[in-house]
């Protein structure tokens, strides 16, 4: 009878652990933020271990460790440890085990009142008792071969930790490492895309500058020279020469429009608001502008917002049969919020190559998000959020 109860208890505990692991693994798989995963890990561990205190600490370059997540039962009456920092001693035997990528258990000891501050506040036996803990099991979080930090389960002085604690927290620690690696990969991808966009923007800016300072200026100069020659030629040649000068002026204007499309000089010189006003004046569809931007924003933010509006206006003119486009842009708490809505036919599908995929790539490359709503017969609206700091 006792054996059957123990077996049923073991199966129930295993089922609870698997369910907790699935919940954390689901967060990792859907790309949840590190903070969400970290909080979930310590909460699930705390619940599985019946209310023991759990924490996740990150090693910092200055020899300290930061609590990035902590779970403490409400009845314990302790303030949260999240955000607190403790030193780690490389000579400590527990730290040595962790640096080898394994789990370690440490029992508290009587507090030595003569100990240094470093010992009294570090992860040591004396520190455990000083914090009111009897036992702690620490497991190494290893990311791409380096020790990133530790997960920890600690028991109060009145209760020891179960002997199998090391094995039970190992799977959670692996999920933490997976979440960190996934987030690092996403961050590297975003950074790579941002570098590509920045390089393309710089190339466009250089081409615009070369056209303005080179070909355009040369054509303008030739036009002035031809006007001077026009005064000196016989009357019979003047009409033909005048038409040539006018044609040259048209070429200059076309070249100016091309260079503006490559990279608008007004954006670099005057900022986002004047550049958007210029876009609105040139738009084939009437534009209602509501701008609350104020001071200049970082260049990559202004460039991204400008090209989103430019592409949206182009799409509205070419594909939407819209009669008006409403553009609202503002900055709130360090975040640029941009909405663009037309009253056209709607039904825009990014998969059909309407330029919406490129817009989303550009926005995401600077850390922003772009949401699209385009219901057939109800127009198209874009909602963009970009960190402006």
Q: CB–CB of 222/230 below 8 Å?
A: no
> Given this model, what pLDDT does residue 264 score?
72
Average pLDDT over residues 64-84: 70
> Given this model, what pLDDT does residue 116 score?
37
> Given this model, what pLDDT does residue 383 score?
94
User: Which structural domains are found in the chain, ordered by start?
Assistant: 2-189 (3.30.450.40), 264-389 (3.30.565.10)
pLDDT class of 119 with cuts at 50, 70, 90:
very low
Mean pLDDT of the chain: 76
> Given this model, what pLDDT does residue 325 score?
94
> Given this model, what pLDDT does residue 259 score?
59
Q: Is 372 left (phi over 0), alpha (psi -120 to 50) or beta?
A: beta
Q: What is this structure's pTM?
A: 0.49
Average pLDDT over residues 140-158: 80
- What phi and psi, each to the nearest 5 degrees, are found at residue 30? -85, 10
16 vs 342 pLDDT, higher one? 342
The rounded radius of gyration (Å) of the Cα atoms in the chain is 32
CA distances from 328 to 151, 155, 269, 271, 284 (A): 46, 55, 22, 16, 18
Q: Report the alpha-carbon distance of residue 365 to residue 67 in Å, rounded.
A: 30
- What phi and psi, each to the nearest 5 degrees, are found at residue 35? -60, -40
């Amino acid at each position: 009878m006792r054996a059957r109860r123990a077996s049923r208890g073991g199966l129930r505990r295993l089922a609870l652990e698997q369910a907790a692991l699935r919940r954390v693994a689901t967060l990792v798989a859907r790309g949840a933020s590190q903070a969400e995963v970290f909080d979930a890990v310590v909460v699930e561990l705390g619940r599985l271990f019946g209310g023991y205190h759990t924490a996740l600490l990150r090693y910092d370059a200055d020899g300290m460790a930061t609590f990035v997540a902590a779970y403490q039962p409400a009845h314990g009456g302790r303030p949260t440890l999240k955000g607190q920092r403790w030193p780690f001693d490389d000579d400590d035997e527990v730290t040595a085990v962790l640096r080898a990528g394994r789990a370690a258990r440490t029992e508290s000891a009587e507090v030595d009142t003569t100990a240094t501050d470093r010992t009294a506040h570090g992860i040591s036996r004396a520190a455990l008792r000083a914090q009111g803990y009897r036992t702690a099991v620490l497991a190494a979080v290893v990311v791409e071969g380096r020790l990133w930090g530790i997960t920890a389960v600690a028991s109060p002085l009145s209760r020891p930790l179960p002997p199998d604690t090391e094995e039970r927290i190992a799977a959670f620690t692996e999920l933490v490492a997976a979440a960190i690696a996934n987030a690092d990969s996403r961050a590297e991808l975003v950074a790579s895309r941002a570098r590509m966009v920045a390089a393309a923007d710089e190339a466009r800016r250089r081409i615009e500058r070369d056209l303005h300072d080179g070909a355009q200026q040369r054509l303008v100069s030739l036009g002035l020279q031809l006007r001077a020659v026009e005064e000196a030629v016989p009357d019979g040649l003047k009409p033909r020469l005048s038409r040539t000068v006018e044609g040259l002026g048209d070429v200059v204007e076309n070249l100016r429009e091309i260079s503006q499309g490559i990279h608008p000089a007004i954006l670099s010189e005057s900022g986002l608001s004047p550049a958007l006003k210029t876009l609105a004046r040139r738009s084939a569809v009437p534009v209602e502008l509501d701008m609350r931007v104020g001071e200049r924003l970082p260049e990559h933010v202004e460039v991204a917002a400008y090209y989103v509006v430019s592409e949206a206006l182009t799409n509205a003119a070419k594909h939407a049969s819209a009669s008006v486009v409403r553009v609202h842009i503002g900055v709130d708490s360090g975040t640029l919020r941009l909405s663009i809505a037309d009253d056209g036919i709607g039904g825009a599908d990014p998969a059909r190559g309407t330029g919406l995929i490129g817009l989303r790539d550009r926005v995401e490359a600077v850390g922003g998000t772009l949401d699209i709503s385009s219901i057939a017969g109800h127009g198209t609206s874009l909602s963009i959020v970009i960190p402006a700091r």
